[in-house]
Chains A and B, each alone.
Chain A
Amino acid sequence: MIYLYKENFIDLLNLINYLLKNKVKPENIKNEIYMKTLLEETYYPVIAEDKNLSERIINKIGIESFLIVYYVFLSNADNKELLIYKYLLSSLKYKNKIRFMRNIDCVNECLKISKYVKTEAHKFKGFVRFSELDNGVLYSQIEPENNIMLLLCNHFKRRLKNECWVIKDNRRNLVGIYDKKECYILDSDIDIKKFDSEDYYEDMWKEFYKTIGIKERKNDRCRMNFMPKKYWKYIVEVSDNEKSSV
């Protein structure tokens, strides 16, 4: 049986709690938009939301071990829900030691994925590129592997607190919007077409970028290691020539 949940973290925790309580072993866990194949059966149990659930889990396994679960949830890993289920199942036994049990496959897997999500979020704190729209709003587009919108919004609302900005995740049609006071994350497919006005400072930055590399030390392999091609699309300083070659 494949169990379904509404696509949010709390709902997933509630479902897993329900499965553990009733000692049901799911074949898989997927969010409600999952397209099942002919041979699969899905079930969407009605569960009364348990308000204090996350708090109780945190009390039991500690915030560090709990955050790992949250980061895995943000990832685009294929069977992340089932992994989280297995991790929480093992945590019944290992409690707050769960995050040290790397010899257990699901724990090792969760640690790896959560690290990957955190690393990607960290990289994007650097790789996000804003352009200034005519009305002064800063606008950027990203296509990260994982859903790091919340992590980015938390970063930029401290850093650019007196600016209005928008971050658009084109892979998920999510936008993060900040209006100098509050930050909102919405589903949206708004598309701000690349306005034609030239950005003086963007040109300047491109020139700076070209200048700062030392040609006697040219090292493409090293650059690609740190700034993989999959991130180049919105990195304005990488020239279109380079983007289309390699």
Chain B
Amino acid sequence: MDLKEKLVILADSAKYDASCSSSGSKRKGDSIGNTAYSGICHSFASDGRCISLLKILLTNCCIYDCKYCLNRRSNNIKRAIFTPEEICTITINFYKRNYIEGLFLSSGIIKNPDYTMNLIIETVYLLRNKYHFGGYIHAKAIPGANKNLLNKLGNLVDRLSANVELPTEKGLKLLAPNKSSDKVTEIMSYVNNNRSTKFVPAGQSTQMIIGATDETDLDIMNKSENMYNRYKLKRVFYSAYIPVNKDKLLPSINTPPLIRENRLYQADWLLRYYNFKVDDILDKNNPNFNLLLDPKCDWALRHLDEFPKEINKCSYFDLLKIPGIGVTCAKRIISSRKYFSIDFKDLKKIGVVLKRAKYFITCNGKYFISNSNFKKDFIEYNLLLEDNNSNNSSGKQMSLF
């Protein structure tokens, strides 16, 4: 099998992993390559997702049989395995041509977790020490592998991840009976306890599949919040379930739940950057996100008593609660209003999305139209109208990555 064919097989089986980020590392570099702290996207695939790393599996052979996975043992597909040297050659040659920031290496489980992990380590070791590659490396840790191996790998890579795959143990039992969430959390806590500028400097991430099992958004967000708090994860990725296998245990859907996935990403941002808690945005009576409105608008509408907020007075954290105002804008407002008092046309210059924000704010005591319009029905109706004007009904992917 020639190298190109292998690459196609092993990229095809790796593509369902949502992560491709190359951020968070300040590696000074070696004879070839360095990293950019903010990460760099090199291309965008036909699905609109950023391509930053050479995302491949070392092999798509696997001893496990996870129901949702293309590479499961019981599927009759073409199998391939890269040698460590082959991966290095492709990485270096792609990197030199500026196609990529580095490598994202994952793998099916071959023989056993330790054996697989050793192959990954060998590859990354070669890349760092024979090819003196100083670019970004994200590797998958194989659940169940020996701690020493985890330690070795962590010292070579920028980012490590272990996927929880499904938000609950029940889901795992059903669809991935060979896996257990304990093994994944063991990896997470090990990495968290040992993290340093040398060990996994860009931190760890994980991924959950959305819509393969019947969890609510509340279950999913609780799991995320818990992992962010306990293991200081950098990112949780949400991957809309795409049916690749037929199985009676799998839901029968034709299109992946992309809008739901987008809502989860938006809510995830609220947790990480906007000081929201899961309890604020979801509860037992409202366990799923509103598919028509983004989580922040939805929250604001349910908490209208906290609004309108006065742009020239309210705190940074209050600014962040206003739909249409993000972290950058909130900071700009704080630094600007020290020197002049802000009105609606200044907000536009600052970059606030006025078509959302205007319903929730006052500037120097003034509402954008008559105060009598500050009513839930009026605002909700207009927000929905805006949303449908600016989004086509198909893929609602926002610039989140």
A residues neighboring B (CB under 8 Å)? 94, 97, 100-103, 108, 122-123, 125-132, 138, 140, 156, 158-163, 201-205, 207-223, 225-227, 235, 237
Contact = CB atoms under 8 A, between A and B. Distances in A.
B336 interface: yes
18 contacts: A94-B339, A102-B332, A102-B350, A128-B98, A159-B29, A159-B34, A161-B31, A204-B7, A208-B7, A208-B8, A209-B51, A211-B15, A214-B45, A215-B46, A215-B47, A217-B48, A226-B399, A237-B43
Interface stretch (B89-97, B212-220, B221-229, B307-315): B89-97
Contacts of A94: 339
Interface residues of B, number: 57
A84 B199 CA distance: 46
Given A102-B336, A220-B46, A138 B97 contact: yes
Interface string B365-401: 0000000000000000000000000001011010100
Contact of A205 (B97, B258, B332): B97
Interface of B: 3-4, 7-8, 11-12, 15-16, 29, 31-34, 36, 38, 40-52, 54-55, 90, 93-94, 96-99, 240, 242, 255-256, 258, 332, 335-336, 338-340, 342, 346, 349-350, 392, 394-395, 397, 399
Contacts of B15: 211-214
B53 to A, nearest CB: 10
A242 B183 CA distance: 45
Contact of B46 (A140, A158, A202, A223): A223
Q: Which of B336, B338, B397 counts the most chain A CB atoms within 10 A?
A: B397
Given A211-B8, A223-B48, A226-B44, A158 B34 contact: yes
A138 B51 contact: no
Contact of B47 (A132, A162, A219): A219
A94 B340 CA distance: 12
A103 to B, nearest CB: 5
B43 A235 contact: yes
B349 A222 contact: no
Contacts of A108: 349
Contacts of B55: 212
Nearest to B45: A213
Contacts of B31: 161-162
A205 to B, nearest CB: 5
